[in-house]
């Protein structure tokens, strides 16, 4: 079994989901008391949020590069950035290490295409929805036409993530707000939904939606298990 390296803590609420999913999947596949080989570094999220808010992406890149190198030195065979937003820096982080970075965008795109989806609605932080890194990679590398909610809905989705989900707060009113956003996305032509923030799965479940939905957290963790058990580096940041 290969060792999985996690850059976590962004937020720790979703990193806990990663840890559980990785170990559950290894146990399911290997049986007995098997669990995943994991090396994890969990950051102080407040410091990362400050960099995001101020637009200091170079500073954030330096932090993640350093952690990735530390994980590699600690014996990790791959690295996962346990957040969609910070995949804005995925190629930069990949360049800092020799081990593969499993890119959450590529992994989600692979599953979308396998399911026949072509025009997903992206629910995520405003950085992921409004910056070009996510949609351009989906389009340029995978031929997917990713759409995002209108401005008011983007603001609501973002605010619920940071003020509630990252703090472990789950509200039915927020679940219904997300459902309204999804209904509008479907009316705009979406054929599927990407839960493109690693906390959104805490609020809504794919099986409860009218559209096919793809939980980026679970897909990312499952791809890491596939890698660890020998199926290859799906989603490497510098892959063609």
- Catalytic residues, by residue number, are 83, 197
- Which pairs from 208-212 meet CB under 8 Å and 24+ separation? 209/179, 209/182, 210/182, 210/183, 210/186, 211/121, 211/182, 211/185, 211/186, 212/115, 212/117
Say how many C-beta atoms besides its own lie within 10 A of residue 207's C-beta: 6
Partners of 195 in the β-ladder = 123, 215
Class of residue 60 by CB neighbours under 10 A (exposed 0-12, middle 13-18, buried 19+): buried
Class of residue 220 by CB neighbours under 10 A (exposed 0-12, middle 13-18, buried 19+): buried
DSSP-assigned states of every residue in 7-66: EE-TTHHHHHHHHHHHHHHHHHHH-TT----EEEEE--HHHHHHHHHHT-HHHHHHHHHH
Query: What is the rounded distance in angstroms from the CA atom of residue 66 to the CA atom of residue 153?
Result: 35
Say how many C-beta atoms besides its own lie within 10 A of residue 173's C-beta: 8
8 A C-beta contact, residue 17 and residue 217:
yes
Which helix (H) or strand (E) covers residue 215, if one does?
strand 213-215
């Amino acid at each position: 079994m290969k060792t999985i390296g996690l850059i976590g803590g962004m937020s720790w609420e979703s990193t806990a989901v990663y840890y559980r999913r990785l170990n559950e999947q290894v146990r399911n596949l290997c049986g007995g008391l098997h669990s995943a080989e994991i090396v994890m570094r969990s950051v102080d999220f407040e410091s990362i949020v400050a960099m995001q808010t101020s637009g200091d992406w170079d500073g954030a890149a330096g932090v993640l590069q350093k952690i990735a190198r530390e994980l590699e030195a600690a014996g990790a065979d791959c690295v996962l950035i346990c957040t969609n937003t910070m995949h804005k820096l995925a190629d930069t982080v990949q360049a800092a290490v020799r081990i593969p970075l499993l890119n959450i965008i590529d992994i989600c795109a692979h599953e979308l295409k396998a399911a026949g989806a072509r025009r997903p609605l992206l629910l995520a932080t405003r950085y992921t929805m409004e910056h070009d890194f996510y949609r351009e990679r989906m389009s340029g590398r995978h031929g997917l036409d990713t759409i995002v909610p209108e401005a008011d809905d983007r603001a609501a989705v973002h605010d619920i993530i940071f003020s509630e989900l990252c703090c472990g707060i789950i509200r039915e009113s927020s679940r219904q707000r997300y459902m309204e956003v999804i209904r509008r996305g479907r009316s705009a032509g979406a054929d599927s939904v990407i839960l493109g923030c690693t906390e959104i799965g805490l609020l809504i479940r794919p099986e409860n939606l009218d559209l096919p939905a793809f939980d980026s957290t679970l897909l990312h963790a499952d791809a890491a298990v596939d890698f660890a058990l020998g199926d290859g580096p799906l989603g490497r940041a510098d892959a063609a």
